[in-house]
Amino acid sequence: MDDDIDLTGPAPQPPISVIDYSERIPNNVGLATDRRLQRALESWQPRFLDWWAALGPSLPTRDVYLRTAVAIGRDGWASWDRVPMEQYRWGIFLSERGEPQQIGFGQHKGEPAWTQVPGEYRSELRRLIVVQGDTEPASVEQQRHLGATAPSLYDLRNLFQVNVEEGRHLWAMVYLLHAYFGRDGREEAEQLLRRHSGHQDSPRILGAFNEETTDWLAFFMFTYFTDRDGKYQLGTMKESGFDPLARSAEFMLREEAHHMFVGTTGVQRVVQRTAQLMAAHGTDDVWQYGAIPLPVIQKYLNLHFSLSLDLFGSETSSNAAAYFTAGLKGRWMETRRHDDHVLTGATAQVPVVADGVLSQRTVPALTALNLDLRDEYVADCERGLRKWNGELAKAGVDQRLALPHPGFNRNVGAFAGHFISPSGELLDEARWRHLAAGWLPTADDTGLVAGLMVGHHQPGDFAGWLTPPSTGINDLPVEHDYVRF
């Protein structure tokens, strides 16, 4: 099975929990029994809908073929139907737990998981939830104009599915803020709708979520690289000793899989068309045939990979150590690690740039947890590249795509302020900037890509710069009218 489809691997089947759609806010958290919380969230809901109308998808539609969660178990939790997007039933869904949970790492290892916020960790937990929550509406804002230039109704439907699920992930974090953090939480929930991607005065918290998504190649790269960062961040929260956060993250991971599938297959289809035309015409210059040259695809890859690496933070971090020790964030697949889950005395190697040389130094493993997570992420990214390069090999094309060196184009961590080529060569600033046009998208590149971005809004009609998918959505034909205007 594709790793972008099954994120959790073999695991015991959790019990099925049906979501109550009779409520104004669909949920499986018993919202009706807490009238005060229900009223607070119902008062937030109109502001969310105002935000969606103002900064959500800008292309008007009648209805979209979307999946909606109806149960929590891993099997059969999604229902498919045509839905007017503004009437999508956003709600609050937490994964079920079987037997009582224990904290699996840090100084509280073995203690019962918290069902309320521990007072000593209140501000740290709130910050984790706010930062995660801020990314969800940000990506919707970044992608709001893409519908007009969708390469097909299939792709347009996938965009809208990603959008509504990001909206639901915002609801997940807002529920935690309202339910567990009192007035401070309610104020933070309001701010999640007041910050806007790229806004000069009130930007989103993380830099990658203030970048413009200029075109569909950028969207596919974003859903491959940046949503994959989200997978790994949610994976650390899934291990959290704060049980409501862990259960929220676990459910969100199931929806996140589709976002990465969109990126993986989207880039694959772009590469496939480019490779076909390169082989057919014996040239690397496929602009003239209405496709995107491989060097430009590589530039987009370089940009989005480097932006996404910054989201992991500095390689050495006392905050990451404190979160782990406190039991707030674990490591990716914490329960599968073969150590003491406390990291007493453990060390790790982290990169350092000193005296014009790239090298490493030894630090306590607790302070290198950001790098540990980033290394897991990079290995995952490599798996997708093998699929893309497989398309080049099948077409008989010799060139290959590659991830740039982790120090390339970095603004956070050990490599920030240094000028490192995609191959890992340390350069002076003048030479790096002279060569950068060959490594990162230029205005000419994005302009030429934009010239290919013409909307294809008829069933079965696909843009010529990517191949149609091999199968449709939910066993429907590729040519199905997934979106109606």
DSSP string, 427-439: E-HHHHHHHGGGT
The tens digit of pLDDT for each residue in 62-102 reads 999 999 988 887 665 688 999 999 999 999 999 987 777 99
The contacts of residue 201 (CB under 8 Å, 6+ apart) are: none
Mark out the alpha helices in 238-355 (DSSP H runs). Answer: 243-281, 294-310, 318-326
Question: What is the overall mean pLDDT for the chain?
Answer: 94
Region 474-485: mean pLDDT is: 96
Alpha-carbon gap, residue 286 to 50, rounded angstroms:
43
Kindly list the domain boundaries of the chain, sorted by start residue.
31-394+446-484
Task: Render 244-269 in DSSP notation, one character per residue.
Answer: HHHHHHHHHHHHHHHHHHHHHHHHHH
pLDDT at 11 over 60: no
pLDDT digits 0-9 by tens, 357-370: 999 999 999 999 99
pLDDT tens column, 304-343: 999 999 999 999 999 999 999 999 999 999 999 999 999 9
The predicted pLDDT at position 76 comes to: 58
Whole-Å CA distances, 248 to 14, 52, 94, 129, 367 = 14, 22, 5, 11, 26
Q: Span 181-199, mean pLDDT?
A: 97
pTM, two decimals, is 0.95
pLDDT classification of 4: cutoffs 50, 70, 90: low
HSE at residue 62, side-chain half, CA atoms within 13 A, is 5
pLDDT given for residue 455 in this prediction: 97
Each residue's pLDDT tens digit, 356-409: 899 999 999 999 999 999 999 999 999 989 999 999 999 999 999 999 999 999
What distance in Å separates the CA atoms of residue 139 and residue 149, rounded to the nearest whole number? 17
The answer to whether the beta carbons of residues 48 and 193 sit under 8 Å apart is yes
CATH code for the domain defined by 31-394+446-484 = 1.10.620.20
Half-sphere exposure of 20 (CA within 13 A, CB side): 11
**Phi, psi (deg, nearest 5) at residue 256:** -60, -30
- φ, ψ of residue 363 to 5 degrees: the values are -135, 165
| CA atoms in the 13 A half-sphere facing the CB of 377 | 29
14 pLDDT exceeds 70?
no
Asked whether the beta carbons of 375 and 351 are under 8 A apart, the reply is no
Query: Residue 21 above 90 pLDDT?
Result: no
pLDDT in tens, 222-270: 999 999 999 999 999 999 999 999 999 999 998 999 999 999 999 999 9
Contact 443, 422 (CB under 8 A): no
| Pairing verdict, β 357-364 and 347-354 | antiparallel
> Are the beta carbons of 389 and 395 closer than 8 angstroms?
no
Contact between 291 and 272 under an 8 Å Cβ cutoff? The reply is no
Return the pLDDT at 74.
Answer: 63
Percentage of the residues of the chain whose pLDDT score is greater than 90? 90
pLDDT at 5: 47
As a whole number of angstroms, the distance between CA 330 and CA 102 comes to 13
Residues 19 and 93 sit within 8 Å (Cβ to Cβ): yes
In this predicted structure, the answer to whether residue 45 has a pLDDT above a threshold of 80 is yes
For 351, the enclosing helix (H) or strand (E) is: strand 347-354
Nearby residues of 333 by Cβ (< 8 Å), 6 or more positions away: 235
pLDDT bin (cut points 50, 70, 90) of residue 6 is very low
Q: What is the three-class DSSP state of 314?
A: coil
> In sequence order, what DSSP letters do the residues of 57-95 get, joined into one string?
--S--SEEEEEEE-B-SSSS-EEEEEE-GGG----B---
Residue 43, classified by CB atoms within 10 Å of its CB into exposed (0-12), middle (13-18) or buried (19+), is exposed
Q: Whose CA is closest to 474, among 150, 79, 63? A: 79
Surface-to-core class of residue 76, CB atoms within 10 Å of its CB (0-12 exposed, 13-18 middle, 19+ buried): exposed
State how far the Cα of 144 lies from the Cα of 60, in Å rounded to an integer: 11
Distance CA 240, CA 109 (A): 11
Bridge partner residues of 350 (DSSP): 361
